[in-house]
Structure 1
Amino acid sequence: MAGVKSGPNPREAAISRVAAGASIEDTAQHFNIPPERLRRWVGTAATPGDGASQRRRGKQATIIDLAEHTGLSKSVVSRALRGQYGVSADAQARVQAAVEELGYVFNAAAQNLSAHRTNTIGVLVRDASAPFYGEMQSALQKRGSSLAQRVFITSGALDNHDERRALEDLIALRVDGLIVCSGRLPLEEVKRFSSKFPVVVAGRPDVDPLVDSVFGDEDEGARRLAEHLMSLGHRRVAVLQPPDQVSPILHRRTGIMEGYLRDGGVDVIVITTTSPQDVGRTVSRLDESVTAVMCPNDRYAVAVLVGLKDSPGRLAVTGFDGVGGISNSLIDLTTWKQPIERVGSAAVDRLMQLVRQRDAAVVHLAIPGQMHVGRTTQAL
């Protein structure tokens, strides 16, 4: 599987499989390890107290052992292990240290597996090299780690077939749920997984009755940017629009921009484009009556600015996303800053709720972003 960042080691995976009810023989054959070795592993998987002496006794650590070791109450330890709210950073760190010292990790996995829990999250990220997806990946991993969840990530510019395989591979790693952060994988494909598995779509404004989603409020962003240009007197505006088959998200986003402009009485020229590389020359040849360009994201906006390098300031230019320092003083692009950190955090929180309560009602959460007015838009 391309781009998987981390995963369980063979020993942990084998012990977890046995804890879930598989036989020693079948598990040994599955992982291609000697059965006697696996029996030794299972007998020493969880080791409370002094590591060496407890391994000899073969006694398994319990949540009571963790509570006694940390000086915390059993309920606090339980909440820390489950990644629930109300646990201080200090208490979380003490519990994690005790888990490692007492060898509780496999016992915890066994307990969770009895309730179909492994404390792992699978994440599909479209392309971590793109600023938006890179920041989203960091936000998802940060929040997952803060909740004592292992986060397995697969990323890369994959086609739809590869992304489906990537999700299947993540499920094979016994993750508790999936977060899908891809603008290309059709929602119908996502629904194949959400019908039988906890799934949250992150960073993509899908509102479907069968799939939970968390995303930045793109309608608000498109409206605010369009209103900003209209307030500056721009009445003939070009909108760069990728085809739906290239990027459903960007196609929808620019369609909303177009709609708000037309509702405001603006003459709109829609320019179909498949990548930022092909827009610079096209925009530089626009009729002089066009005074502004709305771009589907910041990468397109930068490409437009490069294309206008011989006539800077001729066109007002807006972007979308506000990632990668694009709104800093050097470029100072007028853009809509997506709430990526909040979206990533909320997506993980929602997935944890679905893991605990599989029959919870579907939720769609639109999180507001922030307008940044830079020097790339000017009044007529």
Structure 2
Amino acid sequence: MAHPTLEDVAARAGVSRALVSLVMRGSPKVGKERREAVLRAARELGYRPNMMARGLAAGRTGLVGVLLADLRDPWCAEVHEGLADEAVRRGARLLLTTGRGRAARERAALDDLLGLRPDGVVLASPGMPAADIERAAAGCAVTVVGRSVRSDRVDCVTGDGAAAVRLALAHLADLGHRRVACLDLGPRPSPLRRACPPDAVATAPDEPWRAPEPPTAVLALGDPTGTAALTALLRAGRRVPDEVSLIVVGDSPGARAARVTAVASPAAELGSRAMAVLLDRISGEAPAAGRRDTVPPRLDERDTTRALSLGRREDAPDLRQ
């Protein structure tokens, strides 16, 4: 079924097409009675202005494309919340798509977005090669969130994982913990290891407990590792936090539901910052491209950390760095 046109609205309201156009643009030159007649006719016909055509005529669509790495990823969902909130605040409209966690699908989805002529795009944790992102930035403003891309054309908004590790270790030290295991169970070494004391890193759930003096706290490097660490501790019969405190770098909904102490740069804040950076770029309010914004981490203390009793504290190096 064809969409109603300006001519259809004009015929229903008994006015000219030019007058309907003035009403749709919000012109103050139209009297109240005729404006109401036009708007009533538009409602009856189900008319909606063609925002894309109007934007292209004006040189700007008011549309922003959003490519999420994976809609099933809770982090992506929370990033989108931040993006959407800032877009509403700034009067932008979003076009949402996903790459389903595959670089080839991301490239195809990005091409589809660019074909709709958005003013800019936000890429949330994209897995596609940097060269593809660079090519997209040749045609419109591009902001990447959750990944750093070396490009003078691309703005990036990221968290600070190293600062999150330091914040967690400092918090555990304040609670009296000196023997801390930094657990990394990912298929590839986490870059967060670099912020940990070298002799504190463990790569197997049971490794910390084979030491002569087992740790009194565990810092899990990433949400999946946090889940594995909590499961391993429970299976080993170690009471959390009575015997062992646990902090996770990351903050998934599962960690919140299980009341796990977590430290991370808030995903929604990453999203809102990324949208603000992109819209500043589109409006010409930002300096030269290649901007790098970092959202600091926040520690949320819940039920898996506790101060070490004075009787269990000992003279050991302070992990705060």
Distance in 1 (alpha carbons) for counterparts of 2:2 and 2:265: 41
1:269 corresponds to which of 198, 201, 213: 201
- 2:261 is the counterpart of 1:340: no
Match of 1:24 in 2: none
On the 8 A contact 2:100/2:106 being kept in 1, the answer is: no
Distance in 1 (alpha carbons) for counterparts of 2:139 and 2:230: 46
Distance in 1 (alpha carbons) for counterparts of 2:225 and 2:186: 10
* TM-score normalised over the length of structure 2: 0.74
- 2:221 is the counterpart of 1:251: no
Letter in 2 for 1:145: V
Letter in 2 for 1:57: S
- Any idea what SS the aligned residue of 2:178 has? coil
On the 8 A contact 2:24/2:49 being kept in 1, the answer is: no
On the 8 A contact 1:327/1:372 being kept in 2, the answer is: no
Higher relative contact order structure (alpha carbons within 8 Å, sequence separation ≥ 6): 2
Identity %: 21
On the 8 A contact 2:205/2:228 being kept in 1, the answer is: no
Further displaced range: 347-356 or 117-126: 347-356
2:181 corresponds to which of 215, 222, 237: 237
On the 8 A contact 1:122/1:175 being kept in 2, the answer is: yes
Give the aligned CA root-mean-square deviation in angstroms: 3.5
* TM-score normalised over the length of structure 1: 0.64
Letter in 2 for 1:284: D
- Any idea what SS the aligned residue of 2:253 has? coil
On the 8 A contact 1:177/1:197 being kept in 2, the answer is: yes
Distance in 1 (alpha carbons) for counterparts of 2:29 and 2:82: 32
1:129 corresponds to which of 72, 82, 86: 72
Q: Unaligned regions of 5+ residues in structure 1, if any?
A: 1-9, 13-39, 72-96, 245-249, 272-281
Match of 2:231 in 1: 306
Q: CA deviation at 1:159?
A: 1.5
Distance 1:68 1:150, change over 3 A: same
Q: CA deviation at 1:61?
A: 1.7
Match of 2:17 in 1: 58
Q: What are the equivalent positions in structure 2 for 1:18-29 lying under 5 Å apart?
A: none
On the 8 A contact 2:141/2:154 being kept in 1, the answer is: no
Q: CA deviation at 1:144?
A: 2.1
4+ runs deviating over 6 angstroms: none
Distance 1:118 1:223, change over 3 A: same
Distance in 2 (alpha carbons) for counterparts of 1:222 and 1:51: 66
Match of 1:44 in 2: 7
Letter in 2 for 1:356: S
On the 8 A contact 1:127/1:157 being kept in 2, the answer is: yes
- Any idea what SS the aligned residue of 1:112 has? helix
Match of 1:354 in 2: 281
Distance 1:153 1:356, change over 3 A: same
- 2:34 is the counterpart of 1:105: no
- Any idea what SS the aligned residue of 1:139 has? helix
Q: CA deviation at 1:178?
A: 0.8
Q: CA deviation at 1:336?
A: 1.0
Match of 1:114 in 2: 57
Q: CA deviation at 1:111?
A: 4.2
On the 8 A contact 1:61/1:103 being kept in 2, the answer is: no
Q: CA deviation at 1:64?
A: 8.6
Match of 1:284 in 2: 206
Distance 1:182 1:11, change over 3 A: farther
Distance 1:293 1:118, change over 3 A: same
Distance in 2 (alpha carbons) for counterparts of 1:161 and 1:358: 33
